Amino acid sequence: MNAAPPLKAFLLGGATATGKTELCHRLARNQPGASILSADSMLVYRGMDIGTAKPSPRQLAEIPYGGINLVDPDQPFSAGLWLQHAKTFASQARGPLFVTGGTGLYLRALTEGFNRPVPDEAVRARVRSLWNEGGIDAIRSHLPQSVVSLLDDPGNPRRLMRALEVVLSGGDERAFLGGRVAVRRGRFPVLSRPREVLHRRIRLRAEGMFSGGLLEEVRALRRRYPVWSETAGSAIGYAEAVAFLEGRLGLSEAVDRVAARTRQLARRQETWLRHQADAVWLEWGDESPEEMAQRVQEVWEQDGPVALA
RNA sequence: GGCGAGGUAGCUCAGUUGGUAGAGCAGCGGACUGAAAAUCCGCGUGUCGUCGGUUCGAUCCCGACCCUUGCCA
């Protein structure tokens, strides 16, 4: 284990609905022994297939996939759990390892690792109850000013709570220093689409989910798991499907909402990749899949695989 | 056809007792090291339906016309 060579992988980034899953699969299929690790925070949920645009059963049977179907929708999940799984999966790779996904935090974790205290359940519960009782002010009042001043967005409850967790776990200002730790271990190709094209694809995907059985999937899932975890329950498509099934949203409103949230997600993902990663942007316009695969391959050959933490 | 209501940002609407206008949503940009499909921050010029009149000045008042909508025929 300690003699293992440093792990490396070929990354392919891109916002949702750009077509990266399909393209990565196509590229990996030609490589003997290849496996694919998904870096996507929603593909980890078992049974949530249609709304998350998971690789098809056929694709899953063709190539070993990691990062998919790790927990049930009623279970909590975290980037830490994903990383743990990812490391195991990567170490078991027998051939080239490919990583594709749009969850920036996961990509960063994979290439940079984490260097802050691991969240402790008791500490987390304490912070949560502070938040429930006193809101953001309660959280802020328990944080040293020196830590608050290092945060980019001191009005963000989620990040304030995490900061408090770090502090209560023994971390100090130093844990928040160092500025950006970008995914700089290597350049990697990032797929994009012209905005109008992406929006059209997202629209079609949203409509396709509902006509493709999303409601049935959700109905069955709810029968089996009456209460979902916060993360699974807020997944795009699933939150809206539940709202529709409970009569809180009309069908066309639900479809619109899914499309809008997906567009917003894609924009945030592109922002992340633009500024937090060392991306080689490949815009996919009229090119055929073969042509795009070729261009991705060229970037991989030129820059080599990215080292994992 | 008659009477009424309305035509303002991509959408739904607010507003200006006459000094050229603002919210929500959408969109765009940004932050982001363990909930990340989350969370948070920033960005609002648009022939104020058309044409004419009154006025120093009209999106606002007056007139005509066009369109939408409700009720009555």
Residues 221-280 of A with CB within 7 A of strand B = 230-231, 234-237, 260-261, 263-265, 267-272, 274-276
What per-residue confidence (pLDDT) applies to A178? Answer: 58
ipTM of the complex in this document: 0.91
Q: Is the pLDDT of residue A232 over 70?
A: yes
Nucleotide nearest to A113 (CA to C1'): B33
The Cα–Cα gap between A12 and A121 comes to 34
Q: Which residue has the higher pLDDT, A181 or A53?
A: A53
Mean pLDDT for A80-96 is 95
Residues 2-31 of A with CB within 7 A of strand B = 16
Q: Which residue has the higher pLDDT, A151 or A4?
A: A151
Q: What is the pLDDT of residues A272-287, one digit of tens each?
A: 999 999 999 999 999 9
Instruction: At A88, give phi and psi (nearest 5°).
Output: -60, -45
C-alpha torsion sign, points A309, A14, A273, A148: negative
Nucleotides of B strand lying within 7 Å of any protein CB atom: 25-41
User: Using 50, 70 and 90 to split pLDDT, how confident is the model at A179?
Assistant: low
Q: Among residues A84, A79, A85, A81, which one has the least CA distance to residue A107?
A: A79
Is the distance between the Cβ of A193 and the closest atom of strand B smaller than 7 Å?
Answer: no
What per-residue confidence (pLDDT) applies to A277? Answer: 93
Q: In this structure, how many other beta carbons lie within 10 angstroms of the beta carbon of residue A53?
A: 20
Q: Is the pLDDT of residue A269 over 80?
A: yes
Closest residue to B29 measured CA to C1′ = A271
Kind of pairing between the strands at A8-14 and A183-192? parallel
Is the distance between the Cβ of A200 and the closest atom of strand B smaller than 7 Å?
Answer: no
Nucleotide nearest to A175 (CA to C1'): B33
User: Using 50, 70 and 90 to split pLDDT, how confident is the model at A115?
Assistant: confident
Q: Which two tokens stand for residue A269?
A: 């993902």
What per-residue confidence (pLDDT) applies to A5? Answer: 60
Phi-psi region of A110 (alpha: psi -120 to 50; beta: other; left: phi over 0): alpha
**A109 CB-near residues (< 8 Å, 6+ apart):** A79, A80, A82, A83, A86, A309
Q: Is the pLDDT of residue A11 over 90?
A: yes
Is the distance between the Cβ of A128 and the closest atom of strand B smaller than 7 Å?
Answer: yes
Residues 53-112 of A with CB within 7 A of strand B = 53, 76-80, 82-83, 102-106, 108-109, 112
The Cα–Cα gap between A22 and A28 comes to 10
